[in-house]
Amino acid sequence: MELNKKKLHDLRQEYRSAQLSEKDVESDPILQFGKWFSAAVDAQLFEPNVMTLATADRFGKPSARIVLLKEFDENGFVFYTNYESKKGQDLVENPQAALVFFWAELERQVRIEGVVSKVDVQTSADYFHSRPTGSQIGAMASPQSSVLDSRESLEEKVSNLEKVYEGKEIPHPIHWGGYLIEPMHIEFWQGRQSRLHDRIVYDLVDGSWIINRLAP
């Protein structure tokens, strides 16, 4: 299909499946997130833990990519990555981040903003060793975000590491681990008809969550 400006302008979807009221949400946004995340899992959505992670460097230049949520609790939201990657470099310079979940089939979005810190080494090691062997080797082999000579050079490194660690425990690389995003602001968005969406926002003020409704 040839995509011209008119066709792009005409791409739209009416949202009608649900509504969201500040009277119905949990007083704690982590509990509310848990309810919505469980609904996404129960709906058998493809990888409901997919989220966009946005970071910025010391100059405020933004960068975004897709990562996977691996844990969440009252402390915040955890993902794992190479600390020497572009996102890792950004978080050294500017330890703040934003997350976005979009569950299209449920017409829902969650936006999270907060401060970021590394999880402890033992937690990272435990998760690393729970991953499939191929993923462990890949984490060791890939200098994430660095320029490669070729795909073949990466595959050769993977092959060599597979031989070295065949039948052995793969050591947890110190350059790989988890980040915890401690939320300060969480917004729950429920699509509604005529773009009059429901937006319920939680802001952490003096240790307590304040709930408000935002205009769509």
Task: Using alpha carbons, select from 96, 68, 97 the residue that is nearest to residue 81.
Answer: 68
Q: What are the tokens at 80?
A: 């794992």
Q: In this structure, what is the dihedral angle of CA atoms 173, 134, 138, 75, given to the nearest 10 degrees?
A: -60
Q: Which residues are catalytic?
A: 195
Q: What amino acid occupies position 54? A: A
Distance separating alpha carbons of residues 105 and 112, to the nearest angstrom: 20
pLDDT in tens, 158-211: 999 999 999 999 999 999 999 999 999 999 999 999 999 999 999 999 999 999
pLDDT in tens, 74-127: 999 999 999 999 999 999 999 999 999 999 999 999 999 999 999 999 999 999
